[in-house]
A and B are shown apart, each in its own frame.
Chain A
């Protein structure tokens, strides 16, 4: 008989405005410390590329081919780690010590959208960081493998890599007690980084079956494989459609856990 009430419509407008304003706040804060942000996200991948892509290659320990397939892995890893770092530790601080997120929790938008915004800013920041890896990689390695027709796949893969990083960060930050968070991060992050097929193609693991299985349950593997599929398609890789499917599934599951944790931590 009647459409949505004035209140519902006004609430929707208010929520959209609030969401954008909160996103703008995070972009603004990122901009304020841009130099710090850029150096924080590039320093580790830069040295990884330098040593594994350049130094070992110069010494004859790894081939040019390895340098080429390592770069996509580093790019995927950068997207994943940047997103995770954007959400995780700052959120732990905001929820427990500084409480500075409270003003945003009292903004006129459904609380779950504050968690969604955290993931959105994390993905945006991870795209910037991953994007930065292209010139860095070209500079360090002297060339950049890429295929115009595969750019859409590349972009989608990087967005999904950022998303699973952000969602994992949200899930960890809201479920691990603040006092234990540093320990848990150290315990979790390193295994994820090294079993995520960033430094080797998954199909090259046939001779170590147990490690191949371990790698297959790490969602980061599918991000690395998808980026590799987009940048160096001649290297054997997991089919991109399968990678994207797994990434969407993992992102959805981790986001669900993260958002639920967020709601539990913010509404008592």
Chain B
């Protein structure tokens, strides 16, 4: 089966710049997959999306979308893709409904099919009641929903979403995630960019982390965090037996298999840096403490999140 998106050694250098905005990026997205491009500001996400959607001319590399070479045949590529850009680009001379119908007309969707799709999409995206309002009255979230509905009007094979939830409130974000999953269920391949780590881990089947225009890691969200298993921690809070000392407890905990390091946080709690999954250590730790007549009052495991992976890979300086 041909890949929905295939990017090989993509390089983009903007005119008069001294470094590549995208610098040898490669990845493949399978049909029906949700692929997340994650990266700090200026990493090259929007540039990559721009190349994939025929709006930016690549400097080097090979880019295919739905089997079509975007450089060689941009017109064919445009028939198979849709894009929701980072900055709103709705047609302000038209009503929301007309934005959808004209978009479909540009793509040659027959009138009858157009009318069928418009009603369904307006309802699906919660805009049916405001479909003929003035666009100027639309909130950011409504405009974002309308742009996704518009993108679906020509039934693209691949949908590109550039930071779809930036600036949305939590309800709008959840709503949008639901809609995106529905689209995937219909067989649409989705490529989204984000710096929201929760979004990437909740939404994406696979995530590629981009930094300085290069792919620094690519896996499922679970796979990426597993790579940092050595960074799990377990915080143990306890009441010590009379006469027992925290220093002694720390030394004892250090001997438990799977504990890399133990250090006291305060007079009643200890942080254990683990080499194994936190769940496997709860038993041994509680048993050891029970042997010293200490009572465990709280346990908090800190599994590494995508955020830890992200910061680990891209560093923590500001871009």
Which residues of A line the B interface, CB within 8 A? 7, 10-11, 13-15, 17-18, 21-22, 24-25, 28-29, 32, 98-100, 102-111, 266-268
Contact = CB atoms under 8 A, between A and B. Distances in A.
Contacts of A13: 108
A207 B108 CA distance: 59
Indicate the member of A102, A104, A109 with the most B CB atoms within 10 Å. Answer: A102
A110 B14 CA distance: 22
Contacts of A25: 91, 94, 102, 105-106
A138 to B, nearest CB: 33
Given A267-B56, A267-B57, A21 B106 contact: yes
B89 A17 contact: no
B55 interface: yes
13 contacts: A7-B76, A14-B79, A15-B75, A25-B91, A25-B105, A99-B87, A100-B89, A100-B91, A100-B92, A102-B85, A106-B54, A106-B55, A268-B14
Contacts of B89: 98-100, 102-103
B90 interface: yes
Of B54, B79, B83, B150, chain A has the most CB atoms within 10 Å of the CB of B79
Given A102-B89, A108-B75, A22 B56 contact: no
Contact of A103 (B14, B87, B91): B91
Contact of A29 (B54, B75, B93, B103): B93
Contact of B73 (A7, A106, A268): A7
A21 B102 contact: yes
Q: Which 6 A-B pairs have CB atoms at the shortest separation, nearest pair first?
A: A107-B106, A21-B105, A99-B89, A17-B108, A102-B89, A108-B79
Contact of B93 (A32, A102, A111, A266): A32
B48 interface: no
Nearest to B95: A32
Contacts of A105: 55
Interface residues of B, number: 32
A106 B14 contact: no
B191 to A, nearest CB: 15
Contacts of B87: 99
B223 to A, nearest CB: 34
Contacts of A104: 106
B15 to A, nearest CB: 9
B189 interface: no
Given A267-B55, A268-B14, A103 B73 contact: no
B134 to A, nearest CB: 12
A14 B55 contact: no
B92 A14 contact: no
Interface of B: 14, 50, 53-57, 73-76, 78-79, 82-83, 85, 87-94, 99, 102-103, 105-108, 150
Contact of A11 (B73, B85, B105): B73
B16 to A, nearest CB: 12
A107 B76 contact: no
Contacts of A7: 73, 76
A11 B76 contact: yes
A268 B93 CA distance: 25
B78 A107 contact: yes
A106 B83 contact: yes
A24 B83 CA distance: 23
A107 B107 contact: yes
A209 B150 CA distance: 59
Contacts of A98: 89, 92
A18 B103 contact: no
Contacts of B53: 106
A211 to B, nearest CB: 42
Given A100-B89, A103-B150, A268-B55, A109 B75 contact: yes
Given A103-B89, A268-B50, A268-B57, A29 B94 contact: yes
B93 A18 contact: no
Nearest to B90: A100
A105 B75 CA distance: 10
Nearest to B78: A108
Contacts of B99: 103
Q: Which of B75, B78, B82, B85 is the most central at the interface, judged by chain A CB atoms within 10 Å of its CB?
A: B75
Contact of B106 (A29, A103, A266, A267): A103
Contacts of B103: 103
Contacts of B78: 106-108
A151 to B, nearest CB: 34
Contacts of A22: 106
Given A18-B107, A102-B85, A107-B107, 15 more contacts: A7-B73, A11-B79, A14-B79, A24-B105, A28-B102, A29-B93, A29-B94, A102-B89, A104-B106, A105-B55, A106-B53, A106-B83, A111-B74, A267-B56, A267-B57
A107 B104 CA distance: 9
A98 B136 CA distance: 12
A106 B56 CA distance: 12
B144 to A, nearest CB: 14
A40 to B, nearest CB: 15
A266 B79 CA distance: 18
B106 A18 contact: yes
Contacts of B107: 14, 18, 107-108
A11 B73 CA distance: 9
A109 B107 CA distance: 9
